[in-house]
Amino acid sequence: MLDIKSFIAGRVSLMESSEIREILELTEGKNVISLAGGLPDPKYFPTEELAEISSYVLKEYGWRALQYSVTRGLREFREEIARFMERTGTPGEMPYNIIVTSGSQQALNLLAQVLVNPGDIVAVEKPTYLAAINEFKAVGASFEGIPVDDEGMRVDLLEERLKILKAEGKRIKFVYTVPTAQNPSGVSMSNDRRSHLLELAEEYDFLIIEDDPYSHFMFEEVNFKRLRSMDKYRVIYTSTFSKILSPGLRLGWVAAHPDVIDALEIAKQNADLHTPTFNQLLAAEALRRGVVDKHIPRVKEAYKRKRDVMLEALSEHMDGLARWTRPVGGMFIFAYLDENIDTKEMLPEALSAGVAYVPGSAFYVDGSGRNTMRLNFSYPSEEMIRMGIERLAEVVKRYATSSV
Amino acid sequence: MLDIKSFIAGRVSLMESSEIREILELTEGKNVISLAGGLPDPKYFPTEELAEISSYVLKEYGWRALQYSVTRGLREFREEIARFMERTGTPGEMPYNIIVTSGSQQALNLLAQVLVNPGDIVAVEKPTYLAAINEFKAVGASFEGIPVDDEGMRVDLLEERLKILKAEGKRIKFVYTVPTAQNPSGVSMSNDRRSHLLELAEEYDFLIIEDDPYSHFMFEEVNFKRLRSMDKYRVIYTSTFSKILSPGLRLGWVAAHPDVIDALEIAKQNADLHTPTFNQLLAAEALRRGVVDKHIPRVKEAYKRKRDVMLEALSEHMDGLARWTRPVGGMFIFAYLDENIDTKEMLPEALSAGVAYVPGSAFYVDGSGRNTMRLNFSYPSEEMIRMGIERLAEVVKRYATSSV
């Protein structure tokens, strides 16, 4: 009997399938309100503008839009990205500092390949972005989880850990952070902590990955400086067009020291040769025409409204059952339930009641956070948000009673 | 002094930058006729049809074309791929046998990740496709190189090696082959050898990767059966839209046993979440409208003409200086020079004379083939082919004399 599974390489077992994607599959086609995903609201995609741009690009560039192109990305696209960064607070990027990636998932995948030797220690926020954990784990990283409070990562606690590790002859290779409108906690790192983090990077000789998908969607007046604007040597910056234009085009980028870009280029050539030429030209033209810049405030306003609707619904239905973050930006609220409640165990009950969320433990490198959950407000309609939270409250009430 | 390079992980040194890309960069913008690349002739891209389809897709599917989608690829696209395979001689594929990839480079990258444990033995043709060698090497494969003659891989020699390896307690994990219009040699494996290869796969329990980018561009009446049409268990099939539609869209696919597809799906989720939704819808519609089917014979005719022009030019200028293949399909002629000539060493001289080729040793896993070169006829115009071969002949003449 032919056993195909026996041919599969060991490294596949290190790769984790995203829990979120699994939940999404469970809810597909069913009458479940999903607060689990991380999808942008497609109502706001600039679909008509992109239809116009598509025709223009194929007319203007002709076959060049359909031919192979260079691995690091079209120069004109990298120039537009540098300009976009400049006008949104991160000046000084040159095309040779930038590589185009097939979404920020690929950026994280290539960074993991290029930076992590098995056993290297990576420091991350606790909680942090699930997909980043999975990427670093798949190449053999071990983790230091640094707690987050209202001002973002507890850099003082990071410093303590650095001291202890140093005494043990160990070091942190890099810190991965989502400093602005963090996923999943919704907080932003204060500028003081950002400065402190950069000082520690010097002192303890580590790099920093600044993952920045949400900083264009800030609902409050938050004064923040991107880490990349403060240090062009140690900070590797990554962002994505998924939220500022369209996720289905799969476009992201990394801005970093040329030595990092060179290594990423080799890895990317192995991965997929280059990001689609056509898609790069679409996004370059969308930047050039101001489609992205006009798109951002529209989306921001909509997400702010939805956040407020979710906060209201939480106050109305979940008061006393949980506490939750008031995110300054982004797409998620993070909720903390009673310590006795395991949100992973509760999930099947929630699904039967017609509401889905992501159990928070997936965002903790140390397996803690079992009483937490991530709630998405960018995708569901305002009505669905209200209904979803109402359903969720009922489940929590019932579950809390039955599990006591 | 901050040394960023010291942060780069060891595995990057295992990844080889493609020699072809390096040569392409050397020739860029210079007055060099490049017979080195592997580019399709963009004159034949269905640019207008794709402009029409782009508008249609964004109108018909609206935001769905711009939203995230599932990792294995849109079901309707996988169905169109299955239909295309059926009407071109490989019936019986189901959507669950298929995963969409970001070009066939990604297909090879994911297959390498999913199948190769460090030290696993992979058998390949000698010569074989350079990028495949690099992918398998990067994950720690070791190689068995099996010579090729006019009927493709010498399966009898593979059998000898299998016997010897078995006696040593070793095995081959899989055979990677480009059986039809092989790159770089241009030959096709006879059906008898294909049957023999499948028998050996049973007897010695290995898998087969059938890489099939060129089989739609056969210039001669070659009677061949795809390996995948002969065995749906052991044969993993991969192909690409780069030659039948457009390389700049970065679309490829793998058809294989569901257990392989499942593993590829996990690896692809880590790699880039999914292939761009928009691009998949474009290609699905191009298949539906018959754009691909109409495109293929046009391109085939053009490439056949160009092959003939190159064969003629070779006869005229290189007679007595080299022997060369008469490819039954594809985009390349492979040439064998005098044993004393090292084509890698000769390359700088060729570049100064205004012509580029790929030194053949890159296609040999054992470092042999130093007197060979690959010549591309799909991209340059007929005039450039003639001029290029004329220049090349001068270089070889001069070099042969000077190096004696």
Angstroms from A322 CA to nearest CA on chain B: 31
Taking CA atoms, A176 is separated from A29, A100, A124, A129, A209, in Å, by 36, 20, 5, 10, 5
Q: What is the pLDDT of residues A83-124, one digit of tens each?
A: 999 999 999 999 999 999 999 999 999 999 999 999 999 999
Once rounded to an integer, what is the mean pLDDT over residues A363-371?
Answer: 95
pLDDT tens per residue, range A158-188 = 999 999 999 999 999 999 999 999 999 999 9
Asked whether the predicted pLDDT for residue B20 surpasses 80, the reply is no
Measure the CA angle with vertex A99, ends A97 and A102; round to 5°. 160
Partners of B55 on chain A (C-beta within 8 Å) are: 51, 54-55
Mean residue pLDDT of chain A comes to 95
Structure tokens at B367: 């470092």
Please tell me whether residue B5 adopts helix, strand or coil conformation: helix
Interior angle at CA A133, CA A129 and CA A136, nearest 5: 135
Cβ separation of B117 and A67 shorter than 8 Å? no
CA gap A102, B41 in Å, rounded? 25
**Does residue B100 carry a pLDDT above 80?**
yes
Q: Which residues of B311-327 are buried (b: 16+ CB within 10 A; e: fewer)?
A: bebbeebbeebbebbeb
pLDDT of residue B402: 77
Per-residue three-class SS string for B93-145: CCHHHEEEECHHHHHHHHHHHHHCCCCCEEEEEECCCHHHHHHHHHCCCEEEE
Contacts of A270 in chain B (CB under 8 A): 15, 105, 109, 134-135, 138
| A4-45+294-402 under CATH 3.90.1150.10, yes or no | yes
Cβ of residue B403 closer than 8 Å to a chain A Cβ: no
Interval B204-229 mean pLDDT = 95
By Cβ distance, the residue of B7, B62, B242 closest to A115 is: B7
Provide the 8-state DSSP code for B166: H
Cβ contact A322:A357 at 8 Å: no
Contacting residues of A for B48, CB less than 8 Å apart: 58
* B272:A67 CB<8 A: no
- What's the whole-number mean pLDDT along residues A339-363? 95
If one looks up domain A67-290 in CATH, what number appears? 3.40.640.10
CA–CA gap between residue B341 and residue B317 (Å, rounded): 17
Distance (Å, whole) CA B252 – CA B254? 7
Distance CA B176, CA A25 (A): 34
Please state, in angstroms and rounded to a whole number, the distance separating the CA atoms of residues A110 and A104. 10
- Collect all residues of chain A within an 8 Å Cβ-Cβ radius of residue B273: 103, 105, 250
Query: What's the topology of domain B47-292?
Result: Aspartate Aminotransferase; domain 2 (3.40.640)
Interval B378-383 mean pLDDT = 96
Q: Does A1 touch chain B (CB under 8 A)?
A: no
A-chain residues near B109 (CB < 8 A): 270-272
**Residue among A17, A68, A271 minimizing CB distance to B247:** A68
pLDDT digits (tens, 9 = 90+) for A126-161: 999 999 999 999 999 999 999 999 999 999 999 999
- For residue range B237-288, list pLDDT tens digits in order: 999 999 999 999 999 999 999 999 999 999 999 999 999 999 999 999 999 9
C-alpha span between A175 and A122 (Å, rounded) = 6
Task: Show which of residues 56-75 on chain A sit within 8 Å of chain B, judged by CB atoms.
Answer: 58-59, 62-69, 71
Kindly report the three-state secondary structure assignment for every residue of A166-189: HHCCCCEEEEEECCCCCCCCCCCC
Q: Quickly count: other Cβ atoms within 10 Å of residue B107's Cβ.
A: 27
Cβ within 8 Å of B, A 344-383:
none
d(CA B270, CA A109): 7
* Residue B404 pLDDT grade (very low, low, confident, very high; cuts 50, 70, 90): low
Within 8 A of A42 by CB-CB distance, chain B residues are: 63-64, 66-67
Q: Which pLDDT tens digit goes with each residue over B279-315? A: 999 999 999 999 999 999 999 999 999 999 999 999 9
CB contact at 8 A, B131 and B108: yes
Kindly report the nearest CA distance between residue A266 and chain B, in angstroms. 6
Residue B54 CA to residue A50 CA, distance in Å, equals: 10
Residues 127-166 of A with CB under 8 A from B: 134-135, 138-139
Closest chain A C-alpha to B163 CA, distance in angstroms:
20
Residue A272: C-alpha distances to residues A384, B42, B138, B251 (Å): 39, 20, 14, 10
Distances (CA, A) of B220 to B187, B192, B326: 11, 18, 10
Host H or E run for residue B277: helix B277-288
Q: Which structure tokens are listed for B56?
A: 């249609």
Most B CBs within 10 Å, among A34, A68, A105, A120, to test the B interface: A68
The pLDDT value recorded for residue B357 is 96
Contact predicate A370/A335, CB 8 Å: no
Closest chain A C-alpha to B180 CA, distance in angstroms: 23
> What are the structural domain ranges in chain B?
4-45+296-403, 47-292
DSSP state of B218: B
* Residues in a beta bridge with A181: none
Common-topology check for domains B4-45+296-403 and B47-292: no
Q: Identify which of B11, B234, B250 has the shortest CB distance to residue A113.
A: B11
The CA angle A295-A298-A301, to the nearest 5 degrees, is 145
Residue type, A55: S
Closest-CA residue in chain B for A246?
A: B66
- Tell me, what's the pLDDT at A381? 97
Report CB contact under 8 Å: B68, A15: no
Compute the Cα dihedral for B376, B380, B385, B388 and give only its sign: negative
In A67-222, beta strands by DSSP E: 98-101, 121-126, 142-149, 152-153, 172-177, 207-211
Please, are residues B338 and B371 in contact by the beta-carbon 8 Å criterion?
A: yes
Distances (CA, A) of B60 to A250, B63, B286, B350: 20, 9, 14, 52
Chain B residues closer than 8 Å to A7 by CB: 115, 173-174, 207, 260
Amino acid at B158: L
- Determine the Cα–Cα distance for residues A212 and B61; give it in Å rounded to an integer: 30
Distance, CA of B125 to CA of B155 (rounded, Å): 10
Mean predicted confidence (pLDDT) in A62-75: 96
Out of A12, A250, A277, name the one closest to residue B263 (CB).
A12
Instruction: Tell me the chain B residues in contact with residue A207 when contact means C-beta distances shorter than 8 Å.
Output: 4, 7
> CATH number of the domain at B4-45+296-403, please?
3.90.1150.10
For testing contact with chain A, the best of B17, B63, B176 (most A CBs within 10 A): B63
- B109 interfacial to chain A (CB closer than 8 Å): yes
User: For residue B125, what are the β-bridge partners?
Assistant: B146
- Residue count of chain B: 404
Q: Which residues pair with B255 in a beta bridge?
A: B98, B237
In total, the C-beta contacts within 8 angstroms joining chain A to chain B are 233
When CB atoms are compared, the residue of B9, B117, B277 closest to A113 is B9
Residues of chain A neighbouring B42 (CB-CB closer than 8 A): 63-64, 66-67
Whether the predicted model's global pTM rises above the 0.80 cut: yes
Q: Give yes or no for a contact between B177 and B208, defined as CB atoms under 8 angstroms apart.
A: yes
Q: Do B45 and A59 touch (CB under 8 A)?
A: no
Q: Residue A74: which residues within 8 A CB-CB, separation 6 or more? A: A100, A277, A280, A281, A284
CB-based contact A12 B248, cutoff 8 Å: no
Would you state the pLDDT for residue B30? Answer: 73
Tell the residue number behind the tokens 């039954």, with chain if given: B328
Q: Distance between terminal CA atoms of chain A?
A: 50
Contact A21 B274 (CB under 8 A): no
Residue A222 burial (CB count, 10 A): 15
- Is residue A234 within 8 Å of residue B2, measured between CB atoms? yes
Alpha carbon distance B303, B355 (integer Å): 20
Asked if pLDDT for residue A404 goes beyond 60, the answer is no
Q: What is the largest CA-CA distance in chain A?
A: 67
Between CA A49 and CA A65 the distance in angstroms is: 18
Q: What DSSP state is assigned to residue B9?
A: -
